Amino acid sequence: MPKLIRIFFWGMIISFLGSLPLGTLNIAAMQIGIQESIRDAMYFSLGSLLVEMIYVRISLVGIDWVRKQGRLMKAMEWITLGIVLALAIGSFIAATKHGGKAQNVFLDNKMHRFLLGMFMCAINPVQIPFWFGWSTVLFSKKILEPVKSQYNSYIIGIGLGTLAGNCVFIFGGQWLVQRISNSEQYLNWVIGGIFALTAIIQLWKILTHKDAIEKFTHGADDEIANKEG
């Protein structure tokens, strides 16, 4: 049992720390929490972490198959880039209307936030090489072994770590809105800027073939530095 607990905490800590750098999913969760409700933001986070857990499972047992899906993963990267750009534009538009209280145009839809979280995480394949890299490290250190019970403990820890990381952004955004005058307008400008910068970096990586997917599908370096593409 201590072995399973240890693996659980490894998964949770790696996932929590990996969720803290600014990225598409955690910023989107924060924006939903600010503009809609904490409940919707939590639904979004639960949907995204469910897909992430599925991706981790795939990376543990079907890595050879995943590596052969280079074209699919590359297409997913371009789709993600388009969505990030839409989020950036939507945030800028929201910041210029009605004191910054307008809804982000991309998030202004009736899709259930759980499904939206699943969708946005599913088209963000950078998480596969991230978790493949970390899992490889844990395997090499004999911390993680190819045992079903250990996989389950590891994946549950990952899910809770991602949820905790998203909660930092969700409740942190609420805290700022409640304490800073016109903070929602300022946050929309900041969030739009973050999305725009993320899109520029991702486009540069794609065009220069330095993205994590390129390295992963060609069997080069293990990507362990960045969870949100």
pLDDT digits (tens, 9 = 90+) for 69-79: 667 667 767 77
> Where residue 105 falls among pLDDT bands split at 50, 70, 90?
low
As a whole-number percent, the residues of the chain with pLDDT over 70 amount to 77
131 pLDDT higher than 50: yes
Q: Are 170 and 45 in contact, with CB atoms under 8 Å apart?
A: yes
pLDDT at 195: 80
Bigger pLDDT: 114 vs 102: 114
Nearest to 196 by CA among 20, 18, 21, 22: 22
Bigger pLDDT: 176 vs 14: 14
Nearest to 166 by CA among 13, 30, 8: 30
Over residues 76-97, mean pLDDT: 77
Over residues 165-191, mean pLDDT: 79
209 pLDDT higher than 70: no
C-alpha span between 189 and 141 (Å, rounded) = 44
176 pLDDT higher than 60: yes
142 pLDDT higher than 60: yes
pTM: 0.74
Over residues 16-40, mean pLDDT: 87
- Cβ-proximal residues to 86 (8 Å cutoff; 6+ apart), any chain: 105, 106
| DSSP state at residue 141 | T
pLDDT digits (tens, 9 = 90+) for 35-48: 888 999 999 999 99
220 pLDDT higher than 50: no
Q: Which two tokens stand for residue 38?
A: 């904490």
